[in-house]
């Protein structure tokens, strides 16, 4: 079903059980004994947050998870790193535009306002889209600095030998994250992208670069295919409601 749709099933079940909060946790992440308690206490004092995340340490718990560190502004990053080194955790919430969904506390208010993950994303990109929707509807995204998890994963970096099919799939995710953002009007950008692709396709054709022609044409076809679902997604997600949650 994919990451988003699978989590939607779990969230739907939790709502039926009368949950006040939903906590999403990746299978490669580990809690401390007070992680959830710290997040809930933080939210009860700051109810304008739609998503609260703990600090993500690496698998050994000795330093920040590298990917997580890229979501923090420089000043916030220094504060969090100093707290880890000195083992003096402060009790603050730092606003961020995005934090990945490896460990999210979602108050029921968020679900009632935003709903679940948008199924146009199969795996990756759904948490970007969800944060965009949270901010659009006037809620905030924050990192709680006295709540921690260990995210035991490998940072793989770039794939050296990526196939054209894999590149196209990655492009699809990037385009959907960018163009399905409810905070902006993307359709002028879509038009520009298609014009640019047609120009590149023409130049590749006159140079007899048929592999590039094939890839450019495939991306044009991809854009034409995803535009209707992006339009439908933005129209739906700009309205408050329990979208994608089955009650």
| pLDDT category of residue 71 using cuts at 50, 70 and 90 | confident
**Higher pLDDT pick, 87 / 39:** 39
pLDDT of residue 158 exceeding 80, the answer is: no
Q: What is the pLDDT of residues 211-230, one digit of tens each?
A: 888 888 888 899 999 999 99
**Higher pLDDT pick, 107 / 76:** 107
Dihedral over Cα of 59, 79, 39, 49: its sign: negative
Give the residue carrying structure tokens 């050994």.
60
In angstroms, the CA 144 to CA 36 distance is 11
pTM metric for this prediction: 0.90
Q: What is the pLDDT of residues 95-108, one digit of tens each?
A: 999 999 999 999 99
- The reported pLDDT for the residue numbered 153 is 83
Listed by start position, the domains of the chain span 3-151, 164-237
For residue 56, the cross-strand partners are 149
CATH tag for 3-151 (out of 3.90.1170.50, 3.40.640.10, 3.90.550.60, 3.50.30.10): 3.90.550.60
Stretch 178-196: mean pLDDT? 89
What 3-state DSSP class applies to 121?
A: coil
């Amino acid at each position: 079903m994919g990451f988003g749709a699978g989590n939607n099933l779990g969230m739907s079940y939790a709502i039926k059980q009368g949950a006040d909060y939903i906590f999403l946790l990746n299978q490669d992440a580990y809690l401390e004994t007070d992680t959830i308690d710290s997040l809930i206490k933080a939210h009860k004092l700051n109810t304008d947050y739609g998503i609260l995340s703990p600090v993500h340490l690496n698998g050994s718990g000795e330093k920040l998870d590298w990917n997580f560190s890229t979501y923090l502004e420089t000043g916030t990053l220094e504060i969090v790193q100093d707290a880890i080194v000195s083992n003096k955790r402060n009790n603050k919430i730092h606003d961020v535009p995005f934090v990945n969904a490896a460990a999210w506390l979602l108050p029921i208010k968020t679900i009632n306002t935003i709903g679940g993950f948008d199924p146009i994303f199969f795996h990756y990109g759904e948490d970007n889209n969800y944060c965009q929707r949270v901010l659009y509807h006037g809620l905030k995204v924050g990192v709680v600095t006295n709540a921690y998890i260990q995210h035991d994963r490998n940072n793989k970096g770039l794939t050296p030998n990526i196939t054209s099919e894999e590149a196209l799939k990655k492009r699809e995710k990037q385009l959907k994250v960018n163009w399905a953002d409810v905070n902006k009007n993307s359709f002028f950008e879509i038009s520009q992208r298609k014009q640019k692709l047609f120009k590149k396709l023409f130049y590749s054709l006159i140079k007899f670069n048929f592999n590039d022609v094939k890839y450019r044409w495939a991306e044009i076809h991809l854009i034409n295919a995803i535009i209707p679902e992006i339009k439908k997604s933005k129209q739906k997600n700009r309205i408050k409601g329990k979208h994608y949650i089955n009650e």
